[in-house]
Structure 1
Amino acid sequence: MKRICVFAGSSVGNDPVFIKKTEDLGESLAAKDIELVYGGAKSGLMGVLADQVLNSGGKVTGIMPSHLFEKEIVHPNLTEMIEVGTMHERKAKMSELADGFIALPGGFGTFEELFETVSWAQIGLHSKPLALYNIAEYYAPLVQLIEHAIKAGFVPEDNRELFIDSNNPSSLLNEMERKK
């Protein structure tokens, strides 16, 4: 894997473990020479991750729509910043560049990116690995909801395999590599 797209919050959350574990992922990406592709902001877990990858000697590509340059604080030190016209173009470019996807804790934007990506995998638009970086069991309720949807017959049982679920960055990256 050469590039991984990470969906992450523009906030750092309430528990310092979110920052620490995000930094661990950044170190692991740089150590494996995997370039980070992400939304391009310097705020929240997005910024924490980009800073750690850069501080660890890695490469970071940010992708941001023009209209967010005013609302979001653009990270000034990225290896590359790609400006696009719309959110749809942002997600398409992230998907085009990435060999896999990781969802860190985040809010509605992170959820939307995660579900669009898994929906695309479900209908065969891509076969790239998708992982939940389950820091402090953040995604446990989502995993329970997915299992509930499978049990209720709304999600095929084999679709559970579309997600890798781990709270260890090295294990998560190794599993993604195996699924590639």
Structure 2
Amino acid sequence: MNVAIYCGSSLGNNKIYEESTKLLAQKLVQKDFKIVYGGSLQGLMGIISNESLKLNNSVTGVITHDLVSKEIENTNITKIYKVDTMNQRKEKMAELSDAFIAIPGGYGTFEEIFDVIASAQIGYHKKPCAFFNVNGYYNYLIEFLRNCEKEGFIKNDYVDMLIVSDDIDELIEKISTYKAPKDKWIK
């Protein structure tokens, strides 16, 4: 299985993010989950790719030509795709992946995971979308999504379809056994 990892090009302010990212890489290789990510050597992106490579896991990067110099491309990874735009980057990562995990990150991480969540909701794919909730990082986001549900803008099924856990084994198990809800527009 190929799993897209969406994460920060920063390390964050707490060492737990780096440590948890290394542990995630270790657990994913044990389950034969290959890595697809944004191609950078920076921040948690560098941690997930380099730790995976140390464990002889396959790591595929997708990076824009413009970001090659800005993010410092990880030239040691198994395979790299260079594309022209961020939209092409997201599309290629989604095409290459069987599941998606957001670990802590910023706007780019949010944008990437929400793109695949929205696509899942309307039935463009049936792949699991997960949040590795290290240190409660995504607690307020999930609370916000529950409020969106309460206010009538997101149906319960499409909040419940999200896999959210701070336990890597639970995250992997739920990804492995995921069943997608009905497409939004199917009655």
Sort the TM-score into its range (normalised by shorter chain): over 0.9
Superposition misfits of 4+ residues, deviation over 4 angstroms: none
Aligned-pair CA distance for 1:89: 0.9
Confirm or deny that 1:25 pairs with 2:24. Answer: yes
Aligned-pair CA distance for 1:132: 0.3
Partner of 1:100: 99
Confirm or deny that 1:57 pairs with 2:61. Answer: no
Distance 1:85 1:32 in 2: 33
Alignment of 1:50-129 (within 5 A): 50-129=49-128
Q: Percent of pairs identical after alignment? A: 39
Confirm or deny that 1:170 pairs with 2:169. Answer: yes
TM-score by length of 1: 0.97
Structure 2 unaligned blocks of 5 or more:
180-187
Aligned-pair CA distance for 1:162: 2.3
Partner of 1:7: 6
Aligned-pair CA distance for 1:161: 2.1
Distance 1:66 1:76 in 2: 13
Partner of 1:140: 139
Distance 1:161 1:127 in 2: 14
TM-score by length of 2: 0.93
Structure 1 unaligned blocks of 5 or more:
none
- SS of residue in 2 equivalent to 1:67: helix
Aligned-pair CA distance for 1:138: 0.1
How many residues are paired up? 179
* Counterpart residue type for residue 33 of structure 2: I
- SS of residue in 1 equivalent to 2:149: helix
Distance 1:36 1:96 in 2: 13
* Counterpart residue type for residue 22 of structure 2: E
Distance 1:143 1:164 in 2: 11
Does structure 2 conserve the Cα–Cα contact (< 8 Å) formed by 1:7 and 1:114? Answer: yes
Partner of 2:46: 47
Aligned-pair CA distance for 1:168: 1.4
Does structure 2 conserve the Cα–Cα contact (< 8 Å) formed by 1:31 and 1:56? Answer: no
